[in-house]
Homo-oligomer: A and B are copies of this chain.
Amino acid sequence: MSHPLFERHRATLDRALEAIAGRGYWTPYPESPSPKVYGDGAAEKGKAAFDALLGRPFALNQPATVGTVGSERSPFGPALGITYPKADQNGLLAAVETAQARWRRAGPEAWVGVSIEILKRINEASFEIAHAVMHTTGQAFVMAFQAGGPHAQDRGLEAVAYAWDEMRRIPAHAQWEKPQGRGEPLRMSKRFRIVPRGIALVIGCSTFPTWNGYPGLFASLATGNAVIVKPHPAAILPLALTVRIAREVLAEAGFDPNVVTLVAHEAGDDTVQALALRPEVKLIDFTGSTANGRWLEEHARQALVFTEKAGVNQVIVDSTSDYQGMLKNLAFSLTLYSGQMCTAPQNLYVPKGGIDTPERHVGFDEFASDLAQAVGRLTEDPARAVEVLGAVTGDAVLRRLEAARSFGAIALDTRALTPPAWPEARVHTPLIVKLARGDRATYLNEWFGPISFVIATDGTDDSLAIARDAVASHGALTLSVYSSHDGVIAKAIDVAEDSGVALSINLTGGVFVNQSAAFSDFHGTGANPAANAALTDAAYVAGRFRVVQHRMHI
């Protein structure tokens, strides 16, 4: 009982299955926005499509619509002026249940085929979506294109591949023949049906609406669940475009488009709380604050809840065989998207006695000042700086930035930039503050934004001990270590494995601790408080469907 879309994308799926088995490098969606890759005029067409969205109601033919919502403003300046259909929850859920009734019977091949077709169409809309991501999240264009486009699509396909990999292992049929001594064996025919869990809810975040949203969306859709997408009020557009594409593909494939729906809402209302507690909602994927994530875990007991929450990412600086490479790498990690990444490092632990480098011994203060200079160089020219920094998402970041200036001696102060291309953009360079190891009450909180701390420890063993405790009690998505000593590396690996956080070792080149590559790097471990799941592994998909069998004698 295959499906034409499954056959069409079979080769992509097979290659994705190979990729998750080997976890080497692979992507089907090129990250380069070059016309050589996406075709002449693709960039212009995408920009035009985005421009055409501005200042008008977003066309999304959804049932149970009662008025409109939407007040997104670009961190680069202008209000988008786009409104979205506002959903009546009872009406929408009724329509979703109707759509779900047929979708759940379509079977794994249809679910997977439709999912990959949706991803392909999303990929074709990468430029339009990139502008949508840029002007809702504040990411610079190239990052918005890559992280919000192909890299997010990779994560979506990865989830589909894991879903298929689990579902394909359930045989559709088995013949069971139990010997009975000299008598005739008992013979039964058994059929195993994969059934989805129910309706899934995806709760998007304001910084990476697609990258963090696609894994849950596609893991649930590819296992037969209808999906309601609830974007962050500040970043609706990228997911609205996604939902529109999904609905088009569903309708073309002969399914009710209400298998995928959008629930846009204004900040501060009770939409999420009401939706998350609906008995029909059986799966929730959430990315956002610890408070909201915990609320869901605590209250949405009818659903399987996957959360990615806040954490404190750390760098242990012990020694290095490439001091300049280390500084450059760290400076970029601190600067990229103004530190507004759940993977960006915040705390750098440096022995108060300093560190060894090939050239010389570098003291603690000297390291802080060298790092400040490296960041300073990267952010000197506003026109170039904005291409790395992007813009700050909201006022909360600016308030934290101001507050953090008083925490200790400032190694690098933040500056507001006015990039010529975006004179109204909120662009602020990173702040680096020096702290003592005793300032735990400060540095063991997440200070989301372009804020980092260089912390003087009693030595590398002390740094490792602080890092271990911090992961276990506060959570983290990344840990990084710099050392030219194998013994220190081994200890850092132990800390990472004991506390349950991914470790990057001696990054001095073109790979950054903030980056995690689909099909290869697991994002999050599920083993510390920052996230209760990893993107993506078997545990992330296996519970999204169930198997119901029937048996009879032959």
Tell me the A residues contacting B by CB distance below 8 Å: 21-25, 165-166, 169-171, 174-178, 180, 186, 188, 190, 192-193, 195, 197, 297-298, 301, 493, 496-497, 500-511, 517, 520-522, 525-527, 534, 537-539, 542-543, 546-553
Contact = CB atoms under 8 A, between A and B. Distances in A.
B553 A186 contact: no
B197 A527 contact: yes
B553 A509 contact: yes
B549 A502 contact: yes
B549 A543 contact: no
Given A171-B22, A190-B520, A507-B553, A537 B548 contact: no
Given A174-B24, A539-B543, A549 B522 contact: yes
Nearest to A185: B25
Contacts of A550: 493, 496, 502-505
Nearest to A194: B497
Among A298, A301, A546, max chain B CB count under 10 A is at A546
Contact of A500 (B522, B527, B548): B548
A397 B450 CA distance: 66
Contacts of A165: 169
30 contacts: A21-B169, A21-B171, A22-B174, A23-B174, A25-B177, A170-B537, A180-B510, A186-B510, A190-B520, A195-B497, A195-B500, A297-B301, A496-B548, A496-B550, A501-B548, A502-B548, A503-B548, A503-B549, A504-B550, A504-B552, A509-B553, A511-B551, A522-B547, A525-B546, A526-B546, A534-B547, A539-B542, A539-B543, A542-B542, A543-B543
A438 B59 CA distance: 50
Nearest to A498: B195
Contacts of A195: 497, 500, 527
Contacts of A548: 496-497, 500-503, 525, 527
Nearest to A189: B505
Among A186, A534, A553, max chain B CB count under 10 A is at A553
Nearest to A546: B527
Nearest to A101: B498
Contacts of A505: 550-552
A162 to B, nearest CB: 10
B511 A525 contact: no
A171 B23 contact: yes
A537 B546 CA distance: 9
A537 B542 contact: yes
A10 B549 CA distance: 29
Contacts of A534: 546-547
Contacts of A546: 500, 525-527, 534
Contacts of A543: 526, 539, 542-543
A-B residue pairs, 10 tightest by C-beta: A505-B552, A539-B542, A503-B550, A527-B546, A23-B174, A538-B542, A539-B543, A542-B542, A25-B176, A25-B178
A207 to B, nearest CB: 23
Given A195-B500, A538-B538, A546-B527, A24 B177 contact: yes
Nearest to A31: B178
A511 to B, nearest CB: 6
Given A171-B22, A178-B25, A525 B547 contact: yes
Contact of A503 (B174, B496, B520, B551): B551
A511 B189 CA distance: 12
A55 to B, nearest CB: 39
A301 B532 CA distance: 12
